[in-house]
Amino acid sequence: MPRLRQVSRKDASEKVRKYYEALFGDRDPVEEPGTATGTPGNWWTVFALVPYIFEHATNHFGMFGMFADKSVSQLDGRVRELGILRTGYTQGSQFVFSQHCKAARRFGITDEKIAAIPYWSVSEHFDEKERAILAWADALILQGGRAPDELFEALHSFLSDEDILELTYHVMGYNLHAVCCKALRLEYDDVPERIREVPIPQEGEVADWAGNAWSD
């Protein structure tokens, strides 16, 4: 379950209800969750708590045509989706990664490339342009924006200034969503913490497993 309360259909703002209708039809998404892509849909019902945050987030989606009459984005969809895929994977967001596997296929990114996202740096499936895009995403997410000049020049040889700005914006936007989904336990990121101490078996507690090195 999400960590924050969800907004029912009857309590949603007029703008939020339009998205509810598109995603859930006549159902109340809190009482009867589930979208056509198989997600619970609770990103929408939780973000609806603060309508101006909901609007800010959905305006970003609308930039490239989601729930909009047309895309205003000038960036090649394959460039955007490669960056978002790598962002979802490196941030460990099952939701962002899984949803954008589907989006990536729509823009012609092959299953072989999608499968190789985790090990792109040693994969033969990516050309020099794609490798520059993926390295840029890593510099943004894994290195906190510390992108070397050499990497920037490599990316700039394939993308315009405008393209680089938009790619950076999308990568960081989906970094926000990945982190929010994990922290708030939304969608496919509603999972228990897996990094914890594994207890010693009962019989091991009486064994001198550490040897004399840890003796007083």
Is 156 a domain residue? yes
Q: Are residues 180 and 82 in the same domain?
A: yes
**Please, are residues 174 and 84 in contact by the beta-carbon 8 Å criterion?**
yes
Q: Are residues 85 and 58 in the same domain?
A: no
Determine how many CB atoms are found less than 10 A away from the CB of residue 67: 11
Closest-CA residue to 93 (of 176, 182, 194, 174): 182
Q: Are residues 122 and 27 in the same domain?
A: no
Range of the domain at 25: 14-63
**Please, are residues 91 and 181 in contact by the beta-carbon 8 Å criterion?**
no
Q: Are residues 84 and 177 in the same domain?
A: yes
Tens digit of each residue's pLDDT (9 = 90 or more) over 61-83: 989 888 777 889 999 999 999 99
Q: Are residues 98 and 132 in the same domain?
A: yes
Q: Are residues 96 and 58 in the same domain?
A: no
Is 133 a domain residue? yes
Determine how many CB atoms are found less than 10 A away from the CB of residue 176: 13
* pLDDT given at position 127: 98
* pLDDT given at position 209: 58
- CATH number of residue 115's parent domain: 1.20.1290.10
Is 203 a domain residue? no
Q: Are residues 84 and 35 in the same domain?
A: no
Q: Mean pLDDT, consecutive 10-residue segments, the chain of 216 residues?
A: 97 96 96 96 98 96 83 94 98 97 96 98 98 98 98 98 98 98 98 91 65 61
Ramachandran area for residue 165 (φ above 0: left; ψ -120 to 50: alpha; else beta): alpha
Q: Which residue has the tokens 């907004």?
A: 7
Is 216 a domain residue? no
Ramachandran area for residue 141 (φ above 0: left; ψ -120 to 50: alpha; else beta): alpha
Radius of gyration from C-alpha coordinates of the chain: 21
